[in-house]
Chain A
Amino acid sequence: GESVGLHLPTLSVQEGDNSIINCAYSNSASDYFIWYKQESGKGPQFIIDIRSNMDKRQGQRVTVLLNKTVKHLSLQIAATQPGDSAVYFCAENSGGYQKVTFGIGTKLQVIP
Protein backbone atom coordinates (compact mmCIF):
# COMPACT_ATOMS: atom_id res chain seq x y z
CA GLY A 1 0.00 0.00 0.00
CA GLU A 2 1.01 3.63 -0.08
CA SER A 3 3.13 5.22 2.59
CA VAL A 4 1.06 7.46 4.78
CA GLY A 5 1.96 11.01 5.74
CA LEU A 6 4.10 10.23 8.76
CA HIS A 7 7.22 12.14 9.68
CA LEU A 8 10.43 10.24 9.21
CA PRO A 9 11.92 8.48 12.24
CA THR A 10 15.47 9.54 13.01
CA LEU A 11 18.45 7.43 13.99
CA SER A 12 21.46 9.22 15.46
CA VAL A 13 24.79 7.41 15.61
CA GLN A 14 28.30 8.36 16.50
CA GLU A 15 30.82 8.46 13.68
CA GLY A 16 32.63 5.14 13.51
CA ASP A 17 29.82 3.16 15.10
CA ASN A 18 27.69 0.67 13.22
CA SER A 19 24.18 1.65 12.16
CA ILE A 20 21.18 -0.61 11.84
CA ILE A 21 18.14 0.64 9.99
CA ASN A 22 15.00 -1.47 10.10
CA CYS A 23 12.07 -1.80 7.78
CA ALA A 24 8.84 -3.78 7.89
CA TYR A 25 7.29 -4.61 4.56
CA SER A 26 3.68 -5.42 3.93
CA ASN A 27 3.35 -7.64 0.89
CA SER A 28 4.14 -11.28 1.53
CA ALA A 29 4.30 -11.78 -2.25
CA SER A 30 7.21 -9.35 -2.59
CA ASP A 31 10.28 -11.18 -3.78
CA TYR A 32 12.80 -8.45 -4.39
CA PHE A 33 13.93 -5.76 -1.99
CA ILE A 34 16.12 -2.73 -2.37
CA TRP A 35 17.64 -0.18 -0.04
CA TYR A 36 17.96 3.36 -1.30
CA LYS A 37 19.80 6.36 0.11
CA GLN A 38 18.36 9.79 -0.49
CA GLU A 39 20.29 12.94 0.26
CA SER A 40 18.48 16.22 0.67
CA GLY A 41 17.09 17.52 -2.61
CA LYS A 42 18.23 14.53 -4.62
CA GLY A 43 16.72 11.39 -6.05
CA PRO A 44 17.14 7.97 -4.41
CA GLN A 45 20.45 6.24 -4.89
CA PHE A 46 20.68 2.45 -5.02
CA ILE A 47 22.63 0.89 -2.14
CA ILE A 48 22.03 -2.83 -2.13
CA ASP A 49 19.36 -5.33 -3.06
CA ILE A 50 18.33 -8.82 -2.04
CA ARG A 51 16.05 -11.45 -3.47
CA SER A 52 13.62 -13.40 -1.35
CA ASN A 53 15.58 -16.64 -1.77
CA MET A 54 18.37 -15.12 0.30
CA ASP A 55 18.47 -13.97 3.91
CA LYS A 56 21.67 -11.99 3.84
CA ARG A 57 23.70 -10.09 1.34
CA GLN A 58 26.83 -8.05 1.85
CA GLY A 59 28.24 -5.11 0.00
CA GLN A 60 30.95 -2.65 0.74
CA ARG A 61 30.36 -1.59 4.37
CA VAL A 62 26.68 -2.52 4.06
CA THR A 63 24.78 -5.68 4.81
CA VAL A 64 21.11 -6.37 4.19
CA LEU A 65 19.24 -8.96 6.22
CA LEU A 66 15.88 -10.35 5.21
CA ASN A 67 13.49 -12.19 7.52
CA LYS A 68 10.55 -13.36 5.47
CA THR A 69 8.84 -14.97 8.42
CA VAL A 70 8.17 -11.64 10.07
CA LYS A 71 8.45 -9.56 6.89
CA HIS A 72 11.38 -7.57 8.16
CA LEU A 73 14.34 -6.07 6.38
CA SER A 74 17.38 -4.38 7.87
CA LEU A 75 20.33 -2.43 6.57
CA GLN A 76 23.55 -2.49 8.51
CA ILE A 77 26.19 0.13 7.84
CA ALA A 78 29.62 -0.55 9.29
CA ALA A 79 31.84 2.25 10.58
CA THR A 80 29.29 4.94 9.85
CA GLN A 81 30.72 8.09 8.30
CA PRO A 82 29.37 11.66 8.09
CA GLY A 83 28.73 11.08 4.38
CA ASP A 84 26.26 8.38 5.32
CA SER A 85 23.90 11.01 6.73
CA ALA A 86 20.77 10.80 4.60
CA VAL A 87 17.31 9.28 4.51
CA TYR A 88 17.22 5.56 3.87
CA PHE A 89 14.28 3.84 2.26
CA CYS A 90 13.56 0.19 1.85
CA ALA A 91 11.57 -0.72 -1.22
CA GLU A 92 9.82 -3.89 -2.28
CA ASN A 93 8.45 -5.30 -5.46
CA SER A 94 6.99 -8.54 -6.72
CA GLY A 95 7.21 -10.44 -9.95
CA GLY A 96 10.62 -9.11 -10.96
CA TYR A 97 9.10 -5.91 -12.25
CA GLN A 98 10.84 -2.66 -11.47
CA LYS A 99 7.79 -1.00 -9.99
CA VAL A 100 8.67 -0.60 -6.35
CA THR A 101 6.77 0.40 -3.26
CA PHE A 102 8.73 2.52 -0.83
CA GLY A 103 8.67 2.23 2.92
CA ILE A 104 8.40 5.21 5.22
CA GLY A 105 12.13 5.85 5.46
CA THR A 106 14.58 6.54 8.27
CA LYS A 107 16.72 9.62 8.62
CA LEU A 108 20.25 8.74 9.66
CA GLN A 109 22.21 11.46 11.45
CA VAL A 110 25.90 10.85 12.00
CA ILE A 111 27.41 12.72 14.91
CA PRO A 112 31.05 13.64 14.27
Chain B
Amino acid sequence: GAVVSQHPSWVICKSGTSVKIECRSLDFQATTMFWYRQFPKQSLMLMATSNEGSKATYEQGVEKDKFLINHASLTLSTLTVTSAHPEDSSFYICSASGDRGLYTEAFFGQGTRLTVV
Protein backbone atom coordinates (compact mmCIF):
# COMPACT_ATOMS: atom_id res chain seq x y z
CA GLY B 1 0.00 0.00 0.00
CA ALA B 2 0.90 3.64 -0.31
CA VAL B 3 2.92 5.36 2.42
CA VAL B 4 1.90 8.54 4.18
CA SER B 5 4.32 10.08 6.62
CA GLN B 6 3.65 12.66 9.30
CA HIS B 7 6.19 14.82 11.05
CA PRO B 8 6.72 15.24 13.89
CA SER B 9 5.40 12.14 15.64
CA TRP B 10 4.98 14.11 18.82
CA VAL B 11 5.47 17.70 19.89
CA ILE B 12 5.19 19.65 23.12
CA CYS B 13 4.68 23.37 22.90
CA LYS B 14 3.92 26.27 25.18
CA SER B 15 0.49 27.78 25.29
CA GLY B 16 0.18 30.64 22.83
CA THR B 17 2.73 29.37 20.35
CA SER B 18 2.07 27.85 16.93
CA VAL B 19 2.88 24.35 15.78
CA LYS B 20 3.19 23.03 12.24
CA ILE B 21 2.51 19.40 11.36
CA GLU B 22 3.53 17.98 7.99
CA CYS B 23 1.83 15.22 6.05
CA ARG B 24 3.67 13.73 3.09
CA SER B 25 2.68 11.10 0.56
CA LEU B 26 5.93 9.30 -0.14
CA ASP B 27 5.21 7.18 -3.18
CA PHE B 28 2.16 8.70 -4.82
CA GLN B 29 0.70 12.06 -5.63
CA ALA B 30 -2.05 13.02 -3.25
CA THR B 31 -4.61 15.24 -4.86
CA THR B 32 -6.59 15.28 -1.64
CA MET B 33 -5.51 15.10 1.96
CA PHE B 34 -7.66 14.96 5.06
CA TRP B 35 -6.88 16.10 8.58
CA TYR B 36 -8.44 14.40 11.58
CA ARG B 37 -8.28 14.98 15.30
CA GLN B 38 -8.64 12.24 17.84
CA PHE B 39 -9.07 12.69 21.58
CA PRO B 40 -8.24 9.83 23.97
CA LYS B 41 -10.59 6.86 23.70
CA GLN B 42 -12.61 8.57 21.01
CA SER B 43 -13.03 8.21 17.31
CA LEU B 44 -11.37 10.23 14.57
CA MET B 45 -13.17 13.43 13.75
CA LEU B 46 -12.62 15.03 10.39
CA MET B 47 -11.37 18.60 10.63
CA ALA B 48 -10.81 19.57 7.02
CA THR B 49 -10.31 18.41 3.48
CA SER B 50 -7.29 19.77 1.67
CA ASN B 51 -7.03 19.89 -2.10
CA GLU B 52 -3.76 20.68 -3.81
CA GLY B 53 -3.63 24.25 -4.99
CA SER B 54 -6.90 25.37 -3.46
CA LYS B 55 -8.32 26.41 -0.12
CA ALA B 56 -9.16 23.75 2.40
CA THR B 57 -12.74 22.87 3.22
CA TYR B 58 -13.37 22.86 6.95
CA GLU B 59 -15.94 20.83 8.80
CA GLN B 60 -18.56 22.59 10.84
CA GLY B 61 -17.22 23.85 14.13
CA VAL B 62 -13.56 23.83 13.09
CA GLU B 63 -11.96 27.28 13.16
CA LYS B 64 -10.16 27.85 9.91
CA ASP B 65 -8.14 30.73 11.34
CA LYS B 66 -6.88 28.56 14.15
CA PHE B 67 -6.10 25.47 12.10
CA LEU B 68 -4.32 26.68 9.00
CA ILE B 69 -4.00 24.15 6.22
CA ASN B 70 -1.73 24.47 3.23
CA HIS B 71 -1.55 21.95 0.39
CA ALA B 72 1.05 23.52 -1.84
CA SER B 73 2.18 20.39 -3.66
CA LEU B 74 0.87 16.98 -4.58
CA THR B 75 2.98 15.35 -1.88
CA LEU B 76 2.74 17.75 1.05
CA SER B 77 0.04 19.22 3.20
CA THR B 78 0.67 21.10 6.43
CA LEU B 79 -1.54 21.82 9.40
CA THR B 80 -0.57 24.74 11.61
CA VAL B 81 -2.20 25.05 14.99
CA THR B 82 -2.00 28.75 15.77
CA SER B 83 -1.96 30.17 19.28
CA ALA B 84 -2.23 26.72 20.75
CA HIS B 85 -3.97 26.17 24.05
CA PRO B 86 -4.11 23.11 26.31
CA GLU B 87 -7.51 22.14 24.91
CA ASP B 88 -5.84 21.73 21.50
CA SER B 89 -3.80 18.86 22.90
CA SER B 90 -4.80 15.88 20.82
CA PHE B 91 -3.70 13.27 18.32
CA TYR B 92 -3.73 14.74 14.81
CA ILE B 93 -3.84 12.34 11.89
CA CYS B 94 -3.73 12.96 8.17
CA SER B 95 -4.79 10.76 5.32
CA ALA B 96 -4.10 11.05 1.65
CA SER B 97 -5.69 9.82 -1.53
CA GLY B 98 -4.52 10.01 -5.05
CA ASP B 99 -6.11 9.65 -8.43
CA ARG B 100 -6.47 5.89 -8.11
CA GLY B 101 -10.09 5.60 -9.11
CA LEU B 102 -13.26 5.38 -7.14
CA TYR B 103 -13.83 3.22 -4.07
CA THR B 104 -10.29 3.03 -2.89
CA GLU B 105 -9.17 3.55 0.63
CA ALA B 106 -7.31 6.58 1.85
CA PHE B 107 -3.94 5.95 3.48
CA PHE B 108 -3.22 7.29 6.93
CA GLY B 109 -0.16 8.78 8.49
CA GLN B 110 1.12 7.56 11.83
CA GLY B 111 -0.30 10.57 13.65
CA THR B 112 1.16 13.47 15.63
CA ARG B 113 0.67 13.74 19.36
CA LEU B 114 0.39 17.42 20.31
CA THR B 115 0.68 18.43 23.94
CA VAL B 116 0.21 22.07 24.84
CA VAL B 117 1.51 23.07 28.25
Contact = CB atoms under 8 A, between A and B. Distances in A.
Interface of A: 2-3, 5-8, 31-32, 34, 36, 41-46, 49, 51, 89, 96-105
23 contacts: A3-B42, A3-B43, A3-B44, A5-B39, A8-B41, A34-B105, A42-B110, A42-B111, A43-B4, A43-B93, A43-B95, A44-B44, A46-B1, A46-B107, A96-B102, A98-B34, A98-B95, A98-B104, A99-B34, A99-B49, A100-B46, A102-B36, A104-B43
Interface string B4-30: 101000000000000000000000000
B93 A44 contact: yes
Contacts, number: 71
Most A CB within 10 A of own CB, among B6, B32, B106: B106
Contact of B105 (A2, A5, A98): A98
Nearest to B107: A46
Task: Give the interface size class of chain B.
Answer: 20 to 34
A41 B1 CA distance: 20
Chain A contact residues, majority secondary structure: loop
B37 to A, nearest CB: 11
Interface of B: 1, 4, 6, 32, 34, 36, 39, 41-46, 49, 59, 91, 93, 95, 97, 102-111, 113
Nearest to A43: B108
Contacts of A96: 102-103
A43 B111 contact: yes
B43 A43 contact: no
B43 A105 contact: yes
